[in-house]
């Protein structure tokens, strides 16, 4: 399955909707779903989307991606957020670094941004 198809499937699961176009805004897709009245867009809803994408593209295959840098600030309407549509999201995933699986697990670890395995002060 292509990256585009996989991202579209994740968006469908996330929003609990179907029948949207890849040029549709993520905020509009979210607003059509049943969860929109209880989970606001952007941040809470986007955190769920990001987690689903990270799980979908984790692993060691040709399409695995390191999505650790994909945070709510990369999405519109955040200032400077460039991901607004499904197409934008497909591009962001497609152009993310490939990963071997181990890097994804380390990047998701809470101590990933420290000198992992080293004592502080050394």
As for how many domains the chain has, the answer is 1
- Quote the distance between the C-alpha of residue 90 and its chain's center: 10
Asked if residue 21 is part of any domain, the answer here is yes
Mean of pLDDT values over 101-113? 45
Q: What pLDDT is attached to residue 100?
A: 63
SS3 sequence of 43-57: HHHHHHHHHHHHHHC
Closest CA to 94 of 5, 30, 4, 24: 4
Please state the pTM of the whole predicted model.
0.79
pLDDT value of position 120 = 40
Residue 117 in domain: no
The pLDDT score that the predictor gives to residue 63 is 86
The verdict on residue 113 lying in a domain is: no
Residue 24: inside a domain, yes or no?
Answer: yes
**Cα 50 from chain centroid (whole Å):** 3
What average pLDDT does the segment 86-112 reach? 71
Spatial contact of 26 and 75, defined as CB atoms under 8 Å apart:
yes
Integer Cα distance of 4 and 2 in angstroms = 5
The answer to the question of residue 54 being in a domain is yes
Q: What is the pLDDT of residues 7-65, one digit of tens each?
A: 999 999 999 999 999 999 999 999 999 999 999 999 999 999 999 999 999 987 888 99
**For residue 118, is it within any domain?**
no
Once rounded to an integer, what is the mean pLDDT over residues 98-120?
Answer: 47
Q: Is residue 87 part of a domain?
A: yes
Q: The domain containing residue 8 runs over which residues?
A: 3-108
Instruction: Judge whether 121 lies within some domain.
Output: no
């Amino acid at each position: 399955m292509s990256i585009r198809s996989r991202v579209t499937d994740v968006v469908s699961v996330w929003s609990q909707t179907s029948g949207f176009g890849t040029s549709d805004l993520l905020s509009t897709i979210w607003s059509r779903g049943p969860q929109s009245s209880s989970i606001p867009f952007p941040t809470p809803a986007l955190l769920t989307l990001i987690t689903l994408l990270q799980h979908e593209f984790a692993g060691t295959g040709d399409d695995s991606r390191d999505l650790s840098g994909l945070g709510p600030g990369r999405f519109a309407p955040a200032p400077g957020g460039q991901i607004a549509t499904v197409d934008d999201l497909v591009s962001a995933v497609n152009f993310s670094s490939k990963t071997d699986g181990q890097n994804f697990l380390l990047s998701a670890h809470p101590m990933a941004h420290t000198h992992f395995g080293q004592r502080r002060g050394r």
